[in-house]
């Protein structure tokens, strides 16, 4: 019998694990719940970077160098905007814009993001279920020393995550609702995984959707996070830098502590010695995913390991 696996993810790191899982789990048994706190408006288009990164990765069209955007995409639109003197700091590929146009139009027609995502994913041949964490707009706001409070993409892309973070705020989270699809997936899950995504920037927004964290912790099933920190550094992006700025040691222990009762299992990188971790289930695997085989291998290791400590 196949296990129902739900994985919570942000962008590039989470997408790699989701890809590995999609190769070993029947699509009807795999649900990917994606952070939408990074979403923003740009030239009138609704951009959902993490949803698109997962969608392009699972659809096999992602730019493998960047880990986001469409492979081989051109930037004619961007160049045309520059000709008008625009300071275009967010790199929108021409093919990528098709996604944003369709999504924006559908949102304006009142279609929920969950339904739009399902439609786009299906058109790209994606079989597992891909769900935004909520249909309601939530924006991760970054309070920085240098610029005050700025939108996530301004912090991440425009300023290349160099500003010093003082605190984070999730605008709109109080009125965000868990969707029936997310609720159903979590209720039916046999295993909940948290991808090697940034715990503060990518996973916290998902867990902060009212009711979602409680629903996860209420489930007596394996709930396992894969470390985003290896050798005191982030695999990608600002996780380690952010941890230092917020007063944490960039270590697997600090990640485990941060997730608290949300997880009962943790996967660290086998090159690390994480010391004692206050969790019933801990394992070390090769977590750095460079090739497609690495992604599949990690997914296999994690799922087999979980099967070994639970009788399903
Ligand atoms: N990341 C960048 O560092 N620079 C970009 O210009 C950029 C453009 C972009 C366009 C579409 C898309 O789906 C993602 C894009 N990203 C870009 C990645 C993305 O903004 C971040 O990796 C995530 O938000 C963090 O998870």
pLDDT tens digits along 178-188: 999 999 999 99
Give 164's DSSP letter.
P
**What is the mean pLDDT for each group of 10 consecutive residues in the chain (312 residues)?**
93 96 98 98 98 98 96 98 97 98 98 98 98 98 98 97 97 98 98 97 98 98 96 85 91 95 97 89 96 97 94 68
Q: Does the Cβ of 135 fall within 6 Å of ligand 1?
A: no
Closest Cα to atom 14, ligand 1: which residue? 49
Which ligand 1 atom sits nearest the alpha carbon of residue 90?
6
The CB-side HSE value for 205 (13 A sphere, CA atoms) comes to 32
pLDDT at 236: 81
pLDDT tens digits for 163-221?
999 999 999 999 999 999 999 999 999 999 999 999 999 999 999 999 999 999 999 99
Nearest to 173 by CA among 218, 206, 130, 124: 206
Count of C-beta atoms within a 10 Å radius of residue 141: 18
Mutate to test the pocket of ligand 1, among 50, 53, 237 (most ligand atoms within 8 A of CB): 53
SS3 at position 13: helix
Q: Would you list the domain boundaries of the chain?
A: 5-39+127-143+172-309
The answer to whether 302 and 16 have CB atoms below 8 angstroms apart is no
20 touches ligand 1 (CB under 6 Å): no
> Comparing C-alpha atoms, which of 197, 191, 155, 182 is closest to residue 12?
197
- How far is ligand 1, taken at its centre, from the CA of residue 106, in Å? 22
CATH 3.40.50.10680 fits 5-39+127-143+172-309, yes or no: yes
Q: Is 151 close to ligand 1, i.e. is its CB under 6 Å away?
A: no
238 CB near ligand 1 (under 6 Å): no
| Cα separation, 173 vs 27, whole angstroms | 30
pLDDT recorded at residue 312: 67
């Amino acid at each position: 019998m196949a296990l129902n696996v739900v994985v919570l993810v942000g962008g590039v790191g989470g997408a790699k694990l989701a890809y590995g899982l999609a190769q070993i789990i029947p699509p009807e048994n795999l649900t990917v719940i994606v952070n939408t706190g990074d979403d923003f408006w740009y030239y009138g288009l609704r951009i959902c970077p993490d949803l698109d990164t997962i969608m392009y990765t699972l659809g096999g069209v992602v730019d493998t160098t960047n880990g986001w955007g469409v492979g081989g995409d051109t930037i004619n639109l961007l160049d045309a905007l520059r000709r008008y003197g625009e300071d275009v700091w967010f790199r929108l590929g021409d093919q990528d814009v098709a996604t944003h146009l369709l999504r924006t139009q559908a949102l304006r027609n009142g279609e929920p993001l969950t339904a739009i995502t399902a439609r786009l994913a299906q058109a790209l041949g994606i079989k597992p279920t891909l769900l935004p964490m909520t249909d309601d707009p939530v924006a991760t706001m970054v309070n920085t020393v240098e610029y005050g409070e700025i939108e996530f993409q301004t912090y991440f892309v425009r300023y290349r995550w160099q500003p010093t973070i003082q605190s984070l705020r999730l605008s709109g989270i109080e009125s965000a609702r868990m969707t029936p699809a997310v609720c159903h997936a979590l209720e039916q899950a046999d295993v909940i995984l948290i991808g090697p995504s940034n715990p503060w920037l990518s996973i916290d927004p998902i867990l902060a959707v009212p009711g979602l964290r409680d629903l996860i912790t209420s489930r007596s099933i394996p709930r396992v996070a894969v470390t985003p920190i290896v050798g005191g550094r982030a695999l990608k992006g600002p996780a380690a830098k952010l941890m230092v700025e917020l007063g944490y040691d960039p270590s697997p222990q600090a990640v485990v502590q941060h997730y608290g009762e949300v997880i009962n299992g943790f996967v660290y990188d086998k090159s690390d010695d994480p010391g004692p971790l206050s969790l019933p289930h801990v394992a070390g695997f090769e977590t750095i995913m460079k090739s497609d085989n690495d992604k599949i291998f990690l997914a296999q290791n994690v799922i087999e390991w979980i099967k070994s400590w639970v009788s399903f």
